[in-house]
Chains A and B, each alone.
Chain A
């Protein structure tokens, strides 16, 4: 297993060579890996044991007591030999005292009852205790709808309350970090966030103060929980104690449409669920993929979707006329660009491609390049280098560098200065810039001014767009289906959560139509057909389709070298400072 992220624990993944043991679960004998904890055994065998504090990737404190179950051991006779019952199966001696499933590991002959009166009584009791001091402010709580307290209360709780005393009051709206807010009254002291901060991101700033029922989750005096992973505590908080400042009070979670996709904030490609309603994305949450991001994602990637709703987004094609830009129809704009492109020989045309586009976009862009003259058309992508953090963030901030390389459109950004120089010298007269800012990438605005034709395809106006003759509105990653290849060489699928705004189109369509305008028609009408054509042109993709990639992605290419590492046979990569670092949350 090539897990990218190192979890402190993996209680849910027994080693492959773990021997099996026989256990009796709710009356049925099953075989399970020895040493697995009872919560996992139950979960994997259709006998869910509810729990709050247990998390498969964190240490086990055993504090919530929700997973209490009735445990038995093999009954032994006077000679300490197991007693076999009439059914030929070992008899079990049941213990009067319930045990916690999370900290009990299965051994040969163990008996587990999750549905016995004792187990049910325990759950009911714990549920009641958890609720007596809880504010029960579900109508205004962001967690409502995905709250384990609500869920298990519905499943195991009681209809009425026996609590007639005053509730304990605690601090509300505690500002403990840049991106999270704490409501101590809602907290059930499960300590998941405390353990996450300590064990996963080594930022041990959370803890408890006070005692007994007055126990209060707090931040260490003078500290803030500003880890780039802080929002994961909002995910693992089983209740509404920790909420995201970005998401709170924005939308009831049950209205959110969930689209499985991939974060495009860096080359890691964390698997995510996009939560959207109608034309608005409200949040990203990590989606479990043990091969990539396990249960987590970084805050930067998680919050990196707001640009899609920037009011400045291009929504109609525009053509420069005189001193300004005027809307144009797609057929008109594409026909004009096609006609003008045909006037240049291949070496007079250059592309600034983007490693933030999908494989399908890039394949159609490469096809356009083929129609314009193939390799004779200069091309490179804009490189983005950050700092790998040893957890999830990749040093390569482009999500699909491997895809751009595969389509031979560039990879390390080294050719951008050649393109700039060629424009300066009048060799290159037409430039197509896709989803990048050529100016920020090192081609001076004055140089762009020398071009006979500058086409900008992208989301937001930028310095390049200022100089463009045509500005074509493309689609953001959450607005399209397609695939990308992450730094591990894993082929992963993006799904479309919402349509691109206005007349904006998916980029592969723009490139297809430009290609038609330049070199005639083709028969590609859907993203699946793009993939098919791509597979025909690139044997790496043969046998695959977007459907076959599945929600979890597939191993595809050998892992990419770390950005900046010199690759054999090519010139040493340029220093990172030549390329401006662009915050992925605000693409150029």
Chain B
């Protein structure tokens, strides 16, 4: 049952009784009508509609989709253009693409075909994470169905436009969700993200050709933009934060799950208390990670100063509490975190933040690809420190050391994984300093037996 105030665009049919992922069901619900419409339009006009819509990427970075598409100049480009659907949904706390892939895959495929048509791509890939075997099988079946109906393949709907889409399964690495790592993986190599410059996917992407990489939810939105027009889509949500957003709520709430709202239509407090039924077991909210585990943590009781347009139209500074933070890209950035992938992780007052951070640090240490020095060495070091802290062995200089390690990673790596592993550490330390402080004790903390046996080497 859709929760109150939800606006379901992408998840319109998902979980409705009787709605199945096959093409016949999709066609009964108006499926592929937008493709039929799109192929009568000029590709440049389609790109323009997406630009006008203000659609921002739903994968995590929130980059303008229309802008991404316009980096490739069809007049100058002589190489094939590839489009890749990034279905490597791996960010802890995020489980929206999984629903689309499992419950309404044709919606994404239709959006993808339209996007390929708009960008003159004749070959496209769906890079799906290895942990979604059912999704991969289902996609193969759906692509075959679409092909049988001539929505895909040669001479699509008699327009002369050809497109092939292949499903490629990952082998279980978070870094394959990074678009250049994904491209390397697709090329059959280790998923080492590329240096940018010079390897911007729009210029030197898959097989050194112009490549567009879009998230599953982003591609679904394209279908709806074609349906309602870019200008109408831009009216949903807030300026510069258009459309709807699927939010995945997990953690200590009564009703965790996925919910779709107009971007910025509700506040964090409304989401937690009205939509998700509040904190479990009558406990109190302690902290929220609002955009997937790499987003900076927000602490209950914090106050933020944000700039808001007042009734008179002038920008005015306003102080808001955590509960009052509207869930849109810009405000999330303004309060020092990010909307990210839409994974909202809620922690109640029983949670030990050191242990929570140790859990996150362990994940990132395990997923660091190991290519560049700060992330490779720093992520494991942070895991080792946080694991030790979680076990209760805290030295006075540990918080400063941990912060310094994180500071030496963020901004100095090849890809955004550096920030992804450093931000949780930086924010947990900044927001919950009392939990990371060494216990005040008259006796100095004993050095660990292991460390005594094996003196610390100079490093």
Contact = CB atoms under 8 A, between A and B. Distances in A.
Given A129-B408, A211-B367, A212-B379, A165 B372 contact: no
Contacts of B368: 211-213
Interface in A189-235: 189, 207-208, 210-215
Contacts of A163: 381, 456-457, 459
Contacts of A135: 457
B374 A65 contact: yes
A61 interface: yes
A68 B412 contact: yes
B345 interface: no
A168 B173 contact: no
A213 B381 CA distance: 9
Nearest to A52: B373
Given A166-B454, A214-B370, A129 B377 contact: yes
A161 B413 contact: no
B372 A212 contact: no
Interface string B189-204: 0101001011000000
B322 interface: no
Contacts of A211: 173, 366-370
B370 A212 contact: yes
Nearest to B381: A132
B370 A65 contact: no
A208 to B, nearest CB: 6
Nearest to A159: B458
B119 to A, nearest CB: 27
Nearest to B447: A164
B378 interface: yes
Contacts of B413: 65
Contacts of A125: 374, 407-408, 412
Given A98-B412, A189-B376, A211-B173, A131 B459 contact: yes
B388 interface: yes
Interface in A517-560: none
A161 B457 contact: yes
A162 B374 CA distance: 15
A188 interface: yes
Contacts of B380: 133, 168, 212-214
A162 B401 contact: yes
Contacts of B173: 211
Interface string B384-403: 11001000000000000100
A455 interface: no
Contacts of A98: 411-412
B413 to A, nearest CB: 7
B377 A133 contact: yes
A215 B459 contact: no
A221 B276 CA distance: 52
A10 interface: no
B311 interface: no
A540 B84 CA distance: 65
A97 interface: yes
Contacts of B401: 162
Contacts of A129: 373-374, 376-378, 381, 408
B412 A62 contact: no
A63 interface: yes
A165 B412 contact: no
A123 B171 CA distance: 34
A173 interface: no
Interface residue range, chain B: 35 or more
Contact of A97 (B367, B370, B404, B411): B411
B414 interface: yes
Interface string A302-339: 00000000000000000000000000000000000000
A126 B369 contact: no
Contact of B379 (A61, A65, A166, A213): A213
Given A163-B381, A207-B190, A213 B195 contact: no
A63 B414 contact: yes
Interface in B408-459: 408, 411-414, 450-451, 454, 456-459
A257 B314 CA distance: 77
Interface string A66-108: 1010000000000000000000000000001110100110000
B371 interface: yes
Contacts of B365: 212-213
A160 interface: yes
A481 to B, nearest CB: 45
B369 A212 contact: yes
B384 A165 contact: yes
A339 to B, nearest CB: 71
Nearest to B421: A212
B45 to A, nearest CB: 30
Nearest to B454: A166
Nearest to B398: A164
A64 B195 contact: no
B294 to A, nearest CB: 16
Contacts of B458: 131, 136, 160-161
A214 B383 CA distance: 13
B370 A213 contact: yes
A65 B414 CA distance: 8
A324 B384 CA distance: 75
A166 B366 CA distance: 16
Nearest to A125: B408
A122 B404 CA distance: 12
Contacts of A215: 370-371, 376
A415 interface: no
A-B complex: 4 closest residue pairs judged by Cβ atoms: A215-B370, A125-B408, A129-B377, A213-B380
Interface of A: 60-66, 68, 96-98, 100, 103-104, 122, 125-126, 128-136, 160-168, 188-189, 207-208, 210-215
20 contacts: A64-B372, A65-B373, A103-B195, A104-B197, A126-B374, A129-B374, A129-B408, A133-B377, A133-B459, A135-B457, A136-B457, A136-B458, A162-B404, A167-B459, A212-B367, A212-B368, A213-B376, A213-B380, A214-B370, A215-B371
Given A61-B192, A103-B195, 10 more contacts: A65-B374, A98-B412, A125-B374, A129-B373, A129-B381, A165-B384, A166-B384, A212-B376, A213-B370, A215-B370
